[in-house]
Amino acid sequence: MVSGNARAAGVTVASRTLALLAAFDDSHRSLTLSELAERADQSLPTSHRLVSELVAWGALQRRPDGRYVVGPRLWDIGLLAPAPTGLREVAAPFLHDMYAATLATVHLAERDGREALYLDRISGRATVPVVSRIGGRLPLYATAVGKVLLAYAPDDVRRGVLSDLRRVTPFTVIQPAQLVQQLRRVLIDGHASTTDEMSLGASSVAVPIRAGSGPVIAALGVVVPSLKRDRTRLVAALHVAAGGIGRTLADRADKDP
């Protein structure tokens, strides 16, 4: 039988280990040992011991320059995390169809708190600056998939986002009233779009995904150099793909015991 003290110690070690892993984010993809210790708020000796164990296990990698990055074993485990109701698996062929039809970068995202979590991405052929990555998170208010998800989010989420709008590019919408108006249009038009809001030279358009007649669970979008000529065609194609994903999810749910 494990004593209370031992259990407490185990939790402490686990928490410290998780804090080291959580030190990495989109803005900190490689860190020195000192930076890891500082961001995890723990001593350098403790960090050194735990980081060494994480490297040995494969959760972290030490580069030749001495900086640490997330290791392949952690990536492999992360890929095993199921998207809700098999969303990523179901959506995959529809994403490929969208790519074949548009040759544009295609995104599948769901809401994670106040951010858009990118579940899948197929890179387009056009030279367009795209900052998303599978497993990455971007602000809900600065991307087309994010604006779709924000439009259908609970009131408290929208209020939280509207209270903390930060400029990503000179064209990011950071005026709450203007963003609210855009979100209302999403509910009316059934799609959202952005131009140069997340990265300069990139426009995006996205539509919601529902499992049958249920609530919005994700968003499907594309990134292109411009929406001036192809907006209508892209929106129509996205709705067809999103509808196919939703019907497949609903059919699966009906067949599950």
- Ordered per-residue pLDDT tens for the chain, 257 residues: 333 333 334 447 899 999 999 999 877 889 999 999 999 999 999 999 999 999 999 999 999 999 999 988 887 777 666 555 488 889 999 999 999 998 899 999 999 999 999 999 998 776 677 788 888 889 999 999 999 999 999 999 999 999 999 999 999 999 999 999 999 999 999 999 999 999 999 999 999 999 888 899 999 999 998 888 889 999 999 999 999 999 998 887 777 65
Task: Tell me the per-residue pLDDT of 65-76, one tens digit each, with 9 for 90 and over.
Answer: 999 999 888 877
How does 185-200 read in b/e, with b if 16+ C-beta sit within 10 Å? ebeeeebbbbbbbbbe
The reported pLDDT for the residue numbered 229 is 84
Identify the architecture of domain 4-77 in CATH.
Orthogonal Bundle (1.10)
The reported pLDDT for the residue numbered 9 is 43
Domain extents in the chain = 4-77, 84-255
The reported pLDDT for the residue numbered 7 is 37
Task: Tell me the per-residue pLDDT of 194-245, one tens digit each, with 9 for 90 and over.
Answer: 999 999 999 999 999 998 888 999 999 999 988 888 899 999 999 999 999 9
The reported pLDDT for the residue numbered 79 is 65
Question: Can you tell me the distance from the alpha carbon of 27 to that of 170, in angstroms, rounded to the nearest whole number?
Answer: 20
pTM, to two decimals: 0.72
CATH code of the region 84-255: 3.30.450.40
238 contacts 207 by C-beta, under 8 angstroms: yes
Helical H runs in 33-175? 33-40, 44-57, 72-79, 87-102, 144-151, 155-162
Closest among 86, 126, 105 to 209, alpha carbons compared: 86
